[in-house]
Structure 1
Amino acid sequence: MGCRQSKQKSKDSLAGAKKTGSIGNGGAAEAEFSVISAASKTCEKLGVSSKQIFGLRQSWKGIKRNMEDTGVEMFLRLFKSNSELKNMFHEFKDLTSEDDLRANEALENHATLVMTTLDDAITHIDNYDYVSEVLRKTGASHVRFEGFKSDNFLNIRDPFLEAVKITLGDRYTDNMESIYKVAITFILQTMVEGMEDALKNKAT
């Protein structure tokens, strides 16, 4: 069984295939099988149910409407628990006031950039291969930042969960917390792996 919404994604894929003329001689069936297989792979790899994946994607819509605020809140909490990371950002490393940080345009822009990556991953989380590739490339791109370590990605986990909880309020149930934990752990760990692979390749 594929994750819920597989049928809808199949329809979307089939519609796209019709526009490009790629359907014919079994093309429709192949397209539908491909979409359902991708969704099933996510459920298997992450150890979650189709219902949980569907719930996550629905819940994330509340975050999408508040991307900037959620992102800034996430980074404020990250800097509280890992103050040394703020020193990597020249534009606001000397700011100490939370109000000044919230009002800082550079922080807002960076937070939005990070949230956009998370949005891409969660929005397409039922396509395991696509999301894994994107996240690994994102992780690898951080090799260029001097002093940045792959483990730094993992520090975002708790600040992210806390920020999501604030944004969603009562909608952040115990069940939603469990699936958000699975999702963010998968996302961050994949970026870690992407950066570590890039470092190995750079060293050879």
Structure 2
Amino acid sequence: METERMQGEGELNHLERPSPLNEREKVLIQDSWAKVYENCEDAGVAILLRLFVNFPSSKQYFSDFKHVEEPEELERSVQFRKHARRVMNGINTLVESLDNSDKVASVLKLVGKAHALRHKVEPVYFKFLSGVILEVLGEAFPEVVTADVAAAWTKLLATLCCSINAVYEELGWTSLSTSTG
């Protein structure tokens, strides 16, 4: 588990903030998302399940289902499905607000603060989640997620990670592994 966390950490700190999305990229994201969001809950469940399978340590942050081992059992969990929907609704808000950078910034600030202060989630997990989102969308919607669409999503998710990282830094976040708390 420790290697998993350390692996991504250095990369996250050196992520360069990508250039802002251009109009074409925004349209590609919004059009592709409309198709994904039709199956909001299923897509959200697939994304969270993949996160837990690829990065098992991410389950530690979910008291309601951190001890559930079987993916089938997770899928049936009301709390799990509720969180999957919450993740999808959060992404939906961002996608709908791509033309409003203030709204995007305030949403990311709220998400960052909640995950840093209330949930104590290491920021590297946003990078893990971003990779999982791209992976699952590409597999589940291959006809929608073309190379151009994937590139636009990659840029958006990198922006998201940078913004959330900045919120953590503003809050004076230090890795839990180095703090005595």
Query: Normalising by the residue count of structure 1, what TM-score does the alignment of the two structures yield?
Result: 0.70
Are the aligned partners of 1:140 and 1:197 in contact in 2 as well (CA < 8 Å)? Answer: no
Residue aligning to 2:48: 75
Are the aligned partners of 1:143 and 1:199 in contact in 2 as well (CA < 8 Å)? Answer: no
Any idea what SS the aligned residue of 2:72 has?
Answer: helix
Tell me which structure has the larger Cα radius of gyration: 1
Deviation at 1:197, TM superposition (A): 1.4
Residue aligning to 1:140: 113
Are the aligned partners of 1:73 and 1:163 in contact in 2 as well (CA < 8 Å)? Answer: yes
Deviation at 1:126, TM superposition (A): 1.8
Q: What is the number of residues matched between the two proteins? A: 156
What is the root-mean-square deviation of aligned Cα atoms in Å? 1.8
Any idea what SS the aligned residue of 1:76 has?
Answer: helix
Deviation at 1:188, TM superposition (A): 2.6
> Does 1:58 pair with 2:31?
yes
Deviation at 1:176, TM superposition (A): 0.7
The percent identity for this pair of structures is 21
Residue deviations 1:4-46 (CA, integer Å, cap 9, x gap): xxxxxxxxxxxxxxxxxxxxxxxxxxxxxxxxxxxxxxxxx73
Are the aligned partners of 1:66 and 1:167 in contact in 2 as well (CA < 8 Å)? Answer: no
Distance 1:48 1:147 in 2: 30
Any idea what SS the aligned residue of 2:111 has?
Answer: helix
Residue aligning to 1:154: 127
Residue deviations 1:52-87 (CA, integer Å, cap 9, x gap): 211211111012211111111111111122101112
Any idea what SS the aligned residue of 1:171 has?
Answer: coil
Higher helix share: 1
Residue deviations 1:105-133 (CA, integer Å, cap 9, x gap): 11111111111111111111122222112
User: Are the structure 2 counterparts of residues 50 and 146 from structure 1 closer, same or farther at C-alpha, using a change threshold of 3 Å?
Assistant: closer
Greater relative CO, 1 or 2 (CA 8 Å, sep 6+): 2
Alignment of 1:93-172 (within 5 A): 93-145=66-118, 147-172=120-145
Any idea what SS the aligned residue of 1:46 has?
Answer: coil
Alignment of 1:180-191 (within 5 A): 180-191=153-164
User: Are the structure 2 counterparts of residues 178 and 166 from structure 1 closer, same or farther at C-alpha, using a change threshold of 3 Å?
Assistant: same
Any idea what SS the aligned residue of 2:99 has?
Answer: coil
Deviation at 1:140, TM superposition (A): 1.1
Distance 1:69 1:171 in 2: 16
**Structure 2 counterpart of 1:157, one-letter code:** S
**Structure 1 counterpart of 2:33, one-letter code:** W
Residue deviations 1:122-156 (CA, integer Å, cap 9, x gap): 11112222211221121012233354222222111
Distance 1:181 1:101 in 2: 28
Residue aligning to 1:194: 167
Query: Normalising by the residue count of structure 2, what TM-score does the alignment of the two structures yield?
Result: 0.78
Question: Structure 1 stretches of 5 or more lacking a match?
Answer: 1-44
